Amino acid sequence: MNSPWDAPKEYTVAIATNDIRKAVAETSNALYDLLEQSLMTADEEDESDFGRFARETLTVLGSHPEQLSHNADDESGDPEPAEDIEPFVD
């Protein structure tokens, strides 16, 4: 018998902005939160590849907080668009 707890989980991150720096900051913060939750619910002795990836990614994200926080007051004018990044158009 299947219980509601057996259903696969789906995660969706939606960022509504035209500012690429804000989008990256919000997406990175969401990733940080999900990885942190994942590690909190994992077995303490879990040494899986995903566990190592999660810890390493949290370390990297946590060591660059200034890039992950978007503050419009710190920017002067519009940010210059990256030439090698195509915007997603749905």
Map out the domains of the chain as residue ranges.
18-69
pLDDT at 9 (0 to 100): 78
Question: What is the model's pLDDT at position 67?
Answer: 76
pLDDT one-digit tens code per residue, 4-37: 566 777 888 888 999 998 998 899 989 999 999 9
Q: 47 exposed, middle or buried (CB, 10 Å; 0-12, 13-18, 19+)?
A: exposed
Q: Which pLDDT does position 69 carry in this prediction?
A: 76
pLDDT digits (tens, 9 = 90+) for 65-89: 887 777 644 554 444 444 444 555 5
Which tens digits make up the pLDDT trace of 47-71? Answer: 788 888 999 999 998 888 887 777 6
Prediction pTM value: 0.62
pLDDT at 71: 67
Query: Sign (positive/negative) of CA torsion 65, 69, 72, 73?
Result: negative
Alpha-carbon 33 to chain mean position: 7
